[in-house]
Amino acid sequence: MNNFDKKIESFYGLCRQKRLKITPQRIEVYKALMSSDEHPSAETVYKKVKKNLPNVSLDTVNRTLNTLSLIGAAFVVEGSGDVKRFDGNLENHQHFKCVKCKKIFDFQHNAFENIKAPEELGHKFKVLRATVYIEGLCQSCLEKENKIQTN
Amino acid sequence: MNNFDKKIESFYGLCRQKRLKITPQRIEVYKALMSSDEHPSAETVYKKVKKNLPNVSLDTVNRTLNTLSLIGAAFVVEGSGDVKRFDGNLENHQHFKCVKCKKIFDFQHNAFENIKAPEELGHKFKVLRATVYIEGLCQSCLEKENKIQTN
DNA sequence: TTGACAAATAGGTCTAATTACTATATAGTC
DNA sequence: GACTATATAGTAATTAGACCTATTTGTCAA
């Protein structure tokens, strides 16, 4: 069984554990999210799912993505700011976001892996994920940066 | 001169440096943001500003908040996901966000202060801020957590 | 101080993303 | 296989935020 199948397998388990029905739509949405290394928007996931399930509704995709984030099977990318973007890649990686063009860049950095939430937080809350989030200006925006466009 | 005035002062400087005009609207938006310890939405800031400038437009507030984030005088709170939320508190603090109720909790943790962006990132990008971002379920949502509401 | 010019604002309009609603279909369980 | 709660499709309704343009306002230099 390959890695991808394992993920699906454990997704099944997660659904059962949370008493969520395993529907074709849910599975397809999950697969679509897992198999995209970007940070797809609901719209993008929708298009992907539509290939296998031609008449899913966008609403279902939206609700499902939302559900996935509730059970910790996906995440809303921090700092979206524009349209919601989802991330199915739960392996440890960090995000850099350009405040100007809003693009999100993944990066890895050993020192940031396995960040542990502070004790007192863990007592009160259930932590699903801890990452480092860096904001700034990306290369191409830096180049045109001398002038700030406000209107 | 108190701390607040100092901030305003340095905001003036920042605007001049970036060749942005110092308009009453901009100042009021900045003040409104600075003086709220929440993470206000544009709407909230708008209401605050309206008290002093009764006929500002929401659009101006939106544009201005956007401008502030471009020059690093404010930040869009990571992981907004719902409506955009802004943060004028530039002192080092971290955010915990509940994936269910979307509330954002500030917290401080010494180990997370002064996180340094990795070298290779600093070369390519201009880093404005680096924080730790934790996602999970907050206390009150945990209590009702046995059942996940998906519809 | 004043005048010229570029930049910013108000206020209206518009758009696209997300959510809400409801009848129907389906997964899970006995 | 039938029952029941949950999920879905399709459509309609919201709403945050962006766009547009005439007017106003800072800024800077004479």
Q: What's the pLDDT tens digit per position in B39-64?
A: 888 999 999 999 999 889 999 999 99
The predicted-structure confidence for A19-54, as pLDDT tens digits, reads as follows: 899 999 999 999 999 988 678 889 999 999 999 999
pLDDT band at A13 (very low <50, low <70, confident <90, very high): very high
Render the burial of B65-93: b for 16+ CB within 10 Å, e for the rest: bbbbbbbbbbbbbbbbbeebbbbbeeeee
φ, ψ at B132 (rounded to 5°): -95, 140
Residue A134 pLDDT more than 60?
Answer: yes
Long-range CB pairs of B1-7 (<8 Å, 24+ gap) are: B4/B34, B4/B35, B7/B34
Closest CA to B12 of A146, B23, B1, B3: B23
Q: How far is A129 from chain B (nearest CA, A)?
A: 5
The predicted-structure confidence for A92-122, as pLDDT tens digits, reads as follows: 788 888 888 888 888 888 888 878 888 888 8
Mean per-residue pLDDT of chain B: 86
Provide the pLDDT for residue A1. 67
Interface membership of A83 toward B (CB under 8 Å): no
Residue A146 pLDDT more than 70?
Answer: no
Residue A9 pLDDT more than 80?
Answer: yes
Q: Compute the CA torsion angle A4, A40, B65, B115 (nearest 10 deg).
A: 20
Q: Which two tokens stand for residue B14?
A: 């920042």
B133–A132 C-beta distance less than 8 A = yes
Provide the pLDDT for residue A11. 93
Q: CB atoms < 10 A from the CB of A131, how many?
A: 22
**Which of A1-5, B118-122, B133-137 is least confident?**
A1-5
Provide the pLDDT for residue B80. 56
The separation, in Å, between residue B138 CA and nucleotide C8 C1' comes to 42
Contacts of B81 in chain A (CB under 8 A): 76, 80, 84
Closest CA to B75 of B135, B118, B36, B128: B128
